[in-house]
Structure 1
Amino acid sequence: MIAAFMAMAVLQNQIGPPPEALHLDSFYKKCLAVRGLPIVSSSLVSDKGLIEAAAIVDVMLSKRPEMANAMSKLKLRIAVMAP
């Protein structure tokens, strides 16, 4: 439980605006990278929601790092939408 809170705090500090290099529309205000993949969202998505998405992506790719590398090379990104 403590490890989960610590991981959440670390990820919270990594949320920032999307890098210019992504050439995203101004709609996207937040970005958090996991395994080299940017996870982006509008300002309407909570930081907790963005962190949860990052955790899901991390688990999904944890046993397939080559997939994360391939997705990164293709410049794929993941978008989280607000309700």
Structure 2
Amino acid sequence: MYTVYKLDPADLNENFLQALKLLFSGKTIEIAVREVEAANETHDIWQAIERFRQQMNPADYPDNEDIFADVRDRSAGREVVL
């Protein structure tokens, strides 16, 4: 598994470490740190998703709970006239 985190050093906290421990439990990991130039950053949907994943705390969501259970509207929808 390969994961890239882009964050401010001030955001390194116990939650971040717990997320790493959970994601890579039982595995040996390598941590490399480098400075990212602000001019090289682009803002697209994938980076937004990665930022969301980094801010999520997996401990807040029980394993036996489907967090997406009520996301979809299951109503019949609009009437189609052919």
Q: TM-score range by the shorter chain?
A: under 0.3
**Higher normalized contact order (CA 8 Å, seq sep 6+, divided by chain length):** 2
Choose between structure 1 and 2: higher helix proportion: 1
- Which is strand-richer, 1 or 2? 1
**TM-score under structure 2 length normalisation:** 0.26
